[in-house]
Structure 1
């Protein structure tokens, strides 16, 4: 079931019907990541560089290579921080485009089913911001666990698998159910939703392709919700 939903979601990435959403997701993701990069860089320059200058005052010219090496490590650290923030960025963008993706999928792949109802923009943004905060905290914990050998990579997949799976599935479910019903439905199928979340986390770990995570995750969970709803029919 999950592999079927993932295959349909991959097909959906480059479908003509979702081309406009495709470019919106790419453009907005790059824009947000660029903004975060400059914010992280300026924060680092403002707070870390004075500390470095105080730690190594009057560094002779021949030791300038130390500054160069430090700059390399700082850039790697900023890139790592940006990579960890990508899942949080995914959360924000998902709230903007999930309904667009869902409508395309429902019309194309489930024309005989009752169409879902888009969340009001205010509620969608509020839910996205809450999702952003939860994922941010989760990935901060995962970042701390990177220091623990044998746990680091596993922590990344478990944290993002659980959080992304839960939130994207509830986003998809709330097109047909109340928030409480969506959470209950997700809890009934928690194992399946978590496994699908791990697929999203794996997609998130693929460089460049991970820019399309909001589009892929939305499509995956829309299909998965449809498949699971066959077992638990919706009330008309």
Structure 2
């Protein structure tokens, strides 16, 4: 599995994924900057001190807090931004890396938006809890990696699996191979924890989980899109 992860990370920067990577990273950085400016402006309006030195200290503390918060908010923000592009990434991987196997069916746009928003909300909650636990040495790291490992593994594997299976089949497969998917999620969480590098998380995680799903699909004995479950790949973008 480590080999698959390393190959997937290298492929993240390949030419065929460059357009999606640049769009998702650019939009994620832009959104984080806007959120940071808004937070700084709000704090400046709320705090008005007569001592100039005190205002400088508060500004520095606020800037540091915004930077720390941004690190924890990168996973949900990048997932939200990239969520609408990931079917394109998955299809590219399927066509280039598995040319002799069937191509999956794109998840309908409406369903994809619902999944993206749900995942964003859960990721924000988990990472805010981890942020609050910064004052408890060691515990916050455990919460961060375990929670993100579980969530990232579950959601990105489901994205890959739903291109070939119904939701019930995807859930059953995830249950049968839960430990392997969780370990894969931990590997994704490691990338999430590295500043700047974590901006490529959605693309890397999608490539990684598409490959993992194909391996698990072979073991499970079926890797054929469920008849009629979704429109043919790409039709929902017309």
TM superposition score normalised by structure 1: 0.88
When the two structures are aligned, how many residues end up with a matched partner? 224
Q: Which residue of the other structure, out of 148, 152, 158, is the alignment partner of 1:160? A: 148
Q: Which residue of the other structure, out of 105, 112, 115, is the alignment partner of 2:103? A: 115
Unaligned ranges ≥5, structure 1: none
Query: Paired residue for 2:158?
Result: 170
Unaligned ranges ≥5, structure 2: 225-238
Q: CA deviation at 1:187?
A: 1.6
1:148 and 1:87 map into 2 onto residues whose CA distance is 21
1:1-236 superposed matches below 5 A: 2-47=1-46, 49-50=47-48, 53=49, 58-59=50-51, 64-234=52-222, 236=224
> Higher Cα Rg: structure 1 or 2?
1
Query: Paired residue for 2:234?
Result: none
Q: Is the 8 A contact 2:164 2:223 kept in 1?
A: no
- The 4+ residue runs of structure 1 with deviation greater than 4 A are none
Residue by residue, what CA displacement relative to the aligned partner does 1:17-65 show, whole Å, maximum 9, x if unpaired?
A: 2122222222222222222222322333344x25xx3xxxx43xxxx32
- How much is the aligned-residue C-alpha RMSD, in angstroms? 1.7
Q: CA deviation at 1:235?
A: 6.3
Residue by residue, what CA displacement relative to the aligned partner does 1:183-227 show, whole Å, maximum 9, x if unpaired?
A: 221121111111111111111122221111111111111111111
Q: CA deviation at 1:133?
A: 0.5
The change in CA–CA distance for 1:235 and 1:127 in structure 2 (over 3 A counts) is same
Residue by residue, what CA displacement relative to the aligned partner does 1:162-192 show, whole Å, maximum 9, x if unpaired?
A: 1111111111111111122212211211111
